[in-house]
A and B are shown apart, each in its own frame.
Chain A
Amino acid sequence: MHLSFRWIAVTVMLLWSFSARAVLTIEITRGVETGTPIAIVPFGWDGPVKPGQNVSDIVEADLARSGRFAVQPRKDFISTPHEDKDVVFKDWRILKSEALVIGSIRLTAPGKYQVQFRLYDVFKETQLAGFRYNITSDLLRSVAHQISDIIYEKITGEPGAFSTRIAYVTREEPTRTQPVYKLQVADSDGYNAQTVVRSAEPLMSPAWSPDGNRLAYVSFEDKRSKVYVQNLTDGHRELLAEFSGINSAPAWSPDGTRLALTLSRDGNAEIYVMLLNSRALKRLTFDPAIDTEPSWSPDGRGIIFTSDRAGSPQLYRMDASGGSAERLTFDGDYNARASYAADGKSITFVSRTQGGFHIAVMRLDNKTTQILTDTSLDESPSFAPNGRMIIYATEVRGRGVLASVSADGRVRQLFKFEEGDVREPAWSPYNRKLQYKE
């Protein structure tokens, strides 16, 4: 059973959230059989009242969602060790677990916890990792995601991306009232959702600054599109672009000093770069077609954008200083909204094939393209910072929802929010500040 959850919907309900609003289900709509079998023993607890956040459950949900692990069902466990001395490797070899995670949480002072965990290679009978964290209760979820990142990296050899966040836009339309749009930021598992902006008019195109501290976005609060930048720590925001025409598609340069954006102040949608300290503008494209959706290469040298200069929207690449553009896509009549992987080697974008709009990935070295999804209204793809997953927006039974797919297309999930439409997801970069381990 635990080895084969391919094509079977596995619903992971996470019910210990702070508020009812945060309740969300992640449904694995497509899994794989090939993940590393791992057993995660529920962490031991030493204290009068259990903490609100169940660390081992969060770790288990993270790893299951990644598609790289086959998480062993707890009911099969022969023993439930919390300490190193209690581990009997034979108990786990019988279950064919290749990896074992144990841990404990101890109340050290009111509101303060010590979290420990150990990761073992069951067959080599060795410890692969072990950390201790001294934290306040509000950081329990963060620590759980860090533990997931460590396990993921030790087992797969690649960095995890659980300690990241996603920005997205929700639209709710309570009966008989105006719709409400919210720009929200949540943990990568959909929890701790916080509203950054609330508006009666549409919000779109959130873009993370490279340090993860600011969001640029487009707001129609003045009845037309304008670009704002908002600091997530103190809420301070600045209006960056309100030229005549459209002001849209903000994209940060990798060094955080410039913003590429689309303006039609000269009469037609063109790509510009704004220096953030001086607000000086440089126009990069000069074409009577639509030029929009810039995405900066991680090395800062190039910009990929969408243009219909050849008659239909296609992807092009130019130098970050402008100049001639090289066409990248030739298959189909709609390829748009590219976004780079952090290693700069591939892009994800929206491609129309067989009448539907799907998420695609292209390797930039040989231009090979793979279509990853088979739903028909997929848009706004962005890579996780480790390049292994892509989050995007799609539509299920008439509602806008978020979904994720592994970069190889083998694992897919739906993020189900309680109500309203959810759209425009953007995956944050790594936030190196969230490190508390010893």
Chain B
Amino acid sequence: MKNRKFLAASLLIVLALAGCAGEKATKPTAGEEKGATPAETAPATGESAAGASLSDREKQRRAELLAQRRVHFAFDSSSIDDEARAIIEAHAANLVANPQIKVSLEGNCDERGTREYNLALGERRAQAVEKMMKVLGVAGNRIKTVSYGEEKPLCQEHNESCWRQNRRAEIVYQ
């Protein structure tokens, strides 16, 4: 399992480096990554650039974090918790190490509350991630933010488990 995530993370970096923009990179589902064969032969280019001095365990943790492309938020909040912080830090390090990559941050909300307020809240979530990435050294011109408000839920049910999944910022490599 961990190996697969590691492979997936490496693949995503390779794809990003190769300039594979668009649809594939925006949907990092496990099945899709597993089905993409180039990972098995491609070297993990991004990894060496990220720092050769890292221990294997650190590398693995970094890869696991990089495989996560979503950070989640509390209701009506754009505060970044520890879990989200670790994920954003990993992506920021990846971006710093690979200056040619650009990223789009997509803010989303759950269905509760009003659509227009949520559109602004989604933007604020994307901006919270952007701000942290900038603090971590990523140039502002490599980051784009967009808000979909509550218009693009991942999960359509009306319960807290679904709402939690939907309150998110997505990190989409361009």
Binding site for B on A (CB under 8 A): 202, 204-205, 218, 220, 223-225, 245-246, 248-249, 262, 264, 267, 269, 290, 292-293, 306, 308, 312-313, 333-334, 336-337, 350, 352, 357, 377, 379-380, 395, 398, 423-424
Contact = CB atoms under 8 A, between A and B. Distances in A.
Interface in B74-131: 76, 111-117, 119-121, 123-124, 127
Interface stretch (B13-21, B37-45, B47-55, B145-153): B145-153
B120 A264 contact: yes
Contacts of B124: 269, 290
Interface residues of B, number: 24
A380 B151 CA distance: 14
A211 B114 CA distance: 26
A313 B124 CA distance: 14
Interface of B: 76, 111-117, 119-121, 123-124, 127, 145-149, 151-152, 156-158
A309 to B, nearest CB: 12
B120 A395 contact: no
Given A202-B151, A223-B146, A350 B121 contact: no
Contacts of A336: 113-114, 117
Q: Is the interface of A mostly helix, strand, loop or mixed?
A: strand
A423 B118 CA distance: 15
Given A202-B152, A220-B151, A264-B123, A398 B116 contact: no
Contacts of A264: 120, 123
A312 B76 CA distance: 8
15 contacts: A202-B148, A205-B115, A224-B146, A224-B147, A225-B149, A246-B120, A246-B123, A262-B116, A262-B119, A267-B127, A313-B114, A313-B117, A337-B116, A350-B114, A377-B111
B154 to A, nearest CB: 13
Contacts of B115: 204-205, 379-380, 423-424
Nearest to A393: B115
A39 to B, nearest CB: 43
B148 A220 contact: yes
Contacts of A290: 117, 120-121, 124
Nearest to B78: A290
Contacts of A350: 113-114
A306 B113 CA distance: 12
B75 to A, nearest CB: 9
B76 A292 contact: no
Given A220-B151, A224-B146, A246-B147, A306 B117 contact: yes
User: Which of A224, A246, A249, A395: most chain B Cβ within 10 A?
Assistant: A246
B113 A225 contact: no
Nearest to A357: B112
Contacts of B152: 202
User: Which of A292, A357, A377, A380: most chain B Cβ within 10 A?
Assistant: A292
Contacts of A395: 158
B148 A377 contact: no
Contacts of A357: 112-113
A264 B116 CA distance: 12
Nearest to A334: B113
Given A246-B147, A313-B76, A334-B76, A205 B116 contact: yes
A325 B90 CA distance: 42
A78 B174 CA distance: 75
Contacts of B147: 224-225, 246
B123 A380 contact: no
Nearest to A250: B116
Given A249-B119, A269-B123, A293-B116, 11 more contacts: A225-B119, A248-B116, A269-B119, A269-B124, A292-B120, A293-B114, A306-B116, A334-B113, A352-B113, A357-B113, A398-B157
A248 B121 CA distance: 13
Contact of A262 (B76, B113, B120, B148): B120
Contacts of A423: 115
Contacts of B145: 245
Contacts of B123: 245-246, 264, 269
A248 B122 CA distance: 13
Contact of A269 (B120, B151, B158): B120
